[in-house]
Every structure is written in C-alpha cells, then in structure tokens.
C-alpha cells in the first residue's frame, strides 16, 4: 500500500510539470501569433524578450519538477526498502528470517569462494520446560533475550532464526576453530547470567554446534548439516556445551540413519518381539512379568534394546515402538496370567496426549488397567505442573500402577519420594551386585526398604543372581525379586513350555 501511494505521487508530479510546461508553451505560441498579426515595431522588439522569459520559466519549471521527482523516487525507494526489511526480519526476535538468512549465507559460502565463514548453530536447552511452567510469554521473552545477547556480543555477524528455538550465526572472515569455539562458550556464559522473566530470575542455556567454510563444507546445505551433527552430539552428551564438527561424526550419523531406517522396516515386517522376565515374591511365586522388547533382524540376529532405543527416542519411532509394545503385552496378558510391566520412555511422557492414547489402547484391547504396570526411569524430570507428571497422574487415575525403575541410579531419588505418588520401587542393580561385599550398598538397600514400608509401596530388587543376594534382600525387607537366579527373559512360547516342565 505504501509503495503504491508513493508511485502515485511520482505520477502526479510528472503530470504537474507537464501541465506547467504546456501552459508556458501555449503562452509563447500566443505571443508569437500576436507579434506576427500585429506586425508592429514594438512587438518585434518585445518578441525576443518574451521568448527568453518563457524559456527561462520552462527551465525553472523543469528543474523544480526534477527535484520533486527525485524526492518522490527517494521516498518510494525508502518505503520499498522498509517493507522488504520487515519481510526479511523475524517478527519476534528481529533477526533475519530463515529464508533471508540462507540466501545471504549462500552469497558467502559456495564452491570456489575465497572468504572463510565460521558458522555456529545454536539450539536453546529446555525452552519447552520454560513454556510449560511459565507460559509462552516467558518463552518469547527468553528468545528475545537470546537474540539481544547475540547482537550485543557479535554486532557484525549474520544472525537468522532457523526454527522455533534454533538460530544460525555466521561470522564472516573467521576460520579459527578453537577461537570460534571459545566465542560460543563466551556466548553461553553470557546467557547464564540471571535475567528477569515472568517475574523471576532465569538462567538460560543452549547447545552450539560449530562448522567452518570452506574447511568443512563448500556449500550452505553441507555446512549446516555438519554444524547440526556437532550440535546433535552436544545434545546427546548432556547439553549446555559447544561442540566443533569432526569428520568421525559422519560415521556415527550414517550408523544412526541406518538403524532408524531398518527399525522402521522392522515395524512393518514384524521383526519385533517381546520377551517376558518373571518377578517373584519371597516364596518364589511369580507375581508379574516385565515385557522387554527384542529386535530379531534378518541378518544381524537378535539386537538388544540398548542398541536402538536411544536412536528411536530421537525420532517419532519411540511412540510407534511404545504403542507396539503395549498392544502386544495387552494381547499376551491372558496367556501370561499375571500383571505385566511395560517400560515407558521419557520421550513418550513429554507428549500431552500420551495418557489419552494409552487409555484408548487399553479400551480397544479390552485390558483391565489394574493389570498394567508402567515403569519409568528415575531420570524422567517429573516437575510440578509438568506434562510428564500430568501423564503419570492420569495413568494412576485409570488404575495403572507406576513403578520407579533403576531407583538410586540417578540424582533425584529423594525428590521422587517426596514429589509424586507411585506404587513400586525397583532398586537399581548396581546396589544388588555387591550386596554381600559392600556394607554401604547393604545399608542403602535396607534404608530403601524401610522407606517403602512406611509409604507403603512394593520394593523390587533387580539383578538378583546369587542365593546369597536373595537371602540378604529378604532379610532387608524386599517384597519382590527379579534376576537370572530366578528367571531369564523368554519369548511367551518358551515361557509357557518352561511352566509346563
């Protein structure tokens, strides 16, 4: 709209100049006619003066018109530039949009370019937690603060918002990898300084991947891909760090993509199966089973979950796997004859619709919720008003029992005991393995059993492998036992054969 208005002003200016020049020319023509008709000596003397005055007036009008047109053109150009600048800026943070950032980066990074570019790909840590706990306004404030911090520290860098909480930073003429890494670390230190968001001081954190052009890549897509690999490694290693690209990462990425592709095929080709490990009481009577997923690959044989679950958690595969496990366990329940425990990944609990989908599957398969136990690891962040805790509470409301798996392996044990309601504690196997030799482990196990009795909840000891361990655990007050001494994980068909024997 502003641009069209400016152009109409220019056209109007041209029209004004043309009319004025036309009037002058008409006056000059009329004067000439009068001179010719009158043929008086005075008119002959006046004619040159009239002509000179008219010419001067025309020149003055044209000069004024030119100045007016120049002004109008400059106004239109500024309006156009303002509009284009607003189109190229991210509406929230003011940095370049993804499209504009990539276009500008392509002007600097291309095959044959002699100019070095240091590229940092930044992804904020736990922005979703801030959104969930304090609202999206707090998340927006965090993104604004991040953008301002980057501009303050790197005023000459090219900065773009690539996604929700992901930013690209291009430092032109920079090819020193250690120095660029130090630059990223300084940026993280500045973000750590408390800033007031939603009425309380907040420390922000991020993970950064670093890559260089032309040392690591000679086109933009490859440069971003390699910085993203470094960023992924930083996220996997604990977050809140700066990681520079290394060629060895390419091998890890190829393996990850291979496993993800094969796992998708396994879901379609029915290569997955469940093995069930029994859980016993103190009299060695089976009270429940734990469902453990196995992947029977057509070439590589049985693949344990430790080799593919982490990769599945990085994509939508973990939801598909979790649904497959629950459905299979529900269908096997009549043949098992006992309640069954299924492991739930932290990645699954982060979805707001997890509990409703879980309940719908139980209804579909006609499964009594009281016959299902959900095991979650102690490392799952169950925060007050968090999505994870809301899902856990919804499952318990259905009648599903909740077990804390690997209790004592993380750093939130006491917080878990105080923070939410649960039904079963599974003591981590590291405390069981040296029970007869390590006095501290024995004290810890006895303390957990005392706490469990006071709540009251069941206590399951994992990894029971010797009769001595079994005896000491009974003496300490454990109520359930699981391990190779009592029963190994087996497919349902073999489990039924072992019972018959």
| Nearest residue to 339 via CA among 353, 329, 352 | 329
Q: Give the single-character DSSP code of 210.
A: E
CB-CB contact of 336 with 372 (8 Å): no
More confident residue, 466 or 406: 466
β-bridge partners, 291 = 276
What mean pLDDT do residues 148-173 have? 94
Question: Rounded CA gap, 169 and 210, in Å?
Answer: 10
User: What kind and span of H or E run contains 118?
Assistant: strand 117-124
Strands 424-427 and 200-202: unpaired
Q: Environment class of residue 268 by beta-carbon count within 10 Å: exposed (0-12), middle (13-18) or buried (19+)?
A: exposed
Instruction: List Cα–Cα distances, 301 to 80, 262, 318, 418, in angstroms.
Output: 64, 13, 21, 44
Beginning with the edge strand found earlier in the chain, give each strand of the sheet holding 166-172 in spatial order. Answer: 158-161, 166-172, 117-124, 206-213, 242-244
| Per-residue confidence (pLDDT) for residue 467, from 0 to 100 | 95
| Cα 68 to the center of its chain, rounded Å | 53
pLDDT-wise least confident of 273-277, 388-392, 483-487: 388-392
CB-CB contact of 208 with 155 (8 Å): no
> And the tokens for 23?
């009037």
Q: What is the pLDDT of residues 208-229, one digit of tens each?
A: 999 999 999 999 988 998 998 8
φ, ψ of residue 303 to 5 degrees: the values are: -110, 120
> Residue 456: is the preceding peptide bond cis (ω within 30°)?
yes
CB-CB contact of 77 with 37 (8 Å): no
Q: What is the pLDDT of residues 57-115, one digit of tens each?
A: 656 655 666 666 666 655 655 555 555 445 789 989 999 999 999 999 999 998 888 89
* 3-state SS assignment for residue 164: coil
Q: What is the pLDDT of residues 188-210, one digit of tens each?
A: 999 999 999 888 888 899 999 99
Q: Within 399-466, where are the H helices?
A: 413-419, 429-433, 439-454
* 3-state SS assignment for residue 353: coil
Residues in the chain: 501
| Per-residue confidence (pLDDT) for residue 26, from 0 to 100 | 55
CB-CB contact of 240 with 207 (8 Å): yes
CB-CB contact of 341 with 288 (8 Å): yes
Question: Rounded CA gap, 491 and 481, in Å?
Answer: 20
């Amino acid at each position: 709209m502003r641009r069209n208005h400016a152009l109409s002003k220019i056209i109007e200016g041209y029209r004004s100049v043309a009319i004025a020049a036309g009037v002058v020319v008409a006056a000059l023509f009329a004067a000439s006619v009068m001179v010719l008709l009158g043929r008086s000596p005075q008119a002959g003397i006046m004619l040159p003066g009239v002509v000179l005055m008219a010419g001067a007036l025309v020149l003055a009008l044209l000069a004024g018109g030119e100045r007016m047109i120049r002004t109008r053109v400059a106004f239109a150009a500024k309006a156009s530039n303002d509009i284009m600048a607003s189109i190229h800026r991210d509406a929230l943070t003011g940095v370049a949009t993804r499209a504009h950032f990539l276009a500008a980066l392509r002007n600097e990074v291309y095959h044959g370019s002699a100019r070095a570019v240091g590229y940092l790909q930044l992804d904020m840590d736990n922005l979703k937690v801030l959104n969930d706990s304090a609202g999206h306004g707090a998340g927006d404030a965090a993104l604004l603060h991040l953008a301002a911090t980057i501009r303050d520290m790197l005023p000459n860098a090219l900065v773009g918002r690539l996604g929700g909480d992901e930013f690209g930073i291009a430092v032109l003429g920079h090819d020193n990898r250690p120095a660029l890494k130090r630059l990223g670390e300084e940026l993280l230190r500045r973000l750590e300084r408390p800033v007031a968001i939603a009425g309380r001081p907040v420390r922000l954190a991020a993970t950064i991947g670093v890559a260089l052009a032309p040392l690591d890549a000679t086109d933009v897509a490859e440069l971003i891909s390699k910085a993203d690999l470094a960023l992924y490694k930083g996220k996997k290693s604990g977050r809140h760090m700066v990681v520079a690209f290394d060629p060895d990462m390419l091998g890890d990425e190829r393996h990850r993509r291979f496993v993800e592709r094969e796992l998708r095929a396994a879901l379609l080709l029915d290569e997955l199966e469940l093995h069930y490990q029994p859980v016993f009481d103190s009299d060695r009577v089976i009270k429940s089973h734990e469902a453990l997923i196995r992947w029977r690959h057509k070439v590589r044989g049985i693949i344990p979950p430790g080799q593919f679950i982490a990769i599945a958690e990085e994509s939508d595969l973990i939801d598909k796997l979790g649904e497959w496990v629950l459905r299979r366990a529900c269908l096997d329940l009549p043949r098992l004859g006992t309640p069954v425990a299924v492991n739930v990944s932290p990645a699954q609990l982060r979805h707001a619709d997890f509990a409703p989908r879980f309940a719908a599957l139980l209804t579909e398969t006609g499964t009594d919720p009281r016959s299902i136990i959900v095991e979650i690891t102690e490392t799952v962040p169950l925060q007050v008003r968090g999505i994870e805790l809301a899902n856990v509470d919804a499952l318990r409301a259905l009648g599903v029992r909740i077990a804390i798996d690997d209790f004592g392996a993380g750093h939130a044990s006491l917080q878990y005991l105080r923070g939410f309601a649960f039904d079963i504690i599974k003591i981590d196997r590291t405390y069981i393995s040296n029970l007869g030799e390590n006095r501290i482990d024995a004290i810890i196990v006895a303390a957990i059993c005392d706490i469990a009795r006071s709540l009251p909840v069941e206590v399951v000891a994992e990894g029971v492998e010797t009769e001595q361990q079994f005896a000491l655990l009974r003496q300490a007050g454990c109520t359930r036992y699981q391990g190779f001494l009592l029963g190994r994980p087996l497919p349902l068909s073999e489990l039924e054969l072992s019972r018959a024997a």
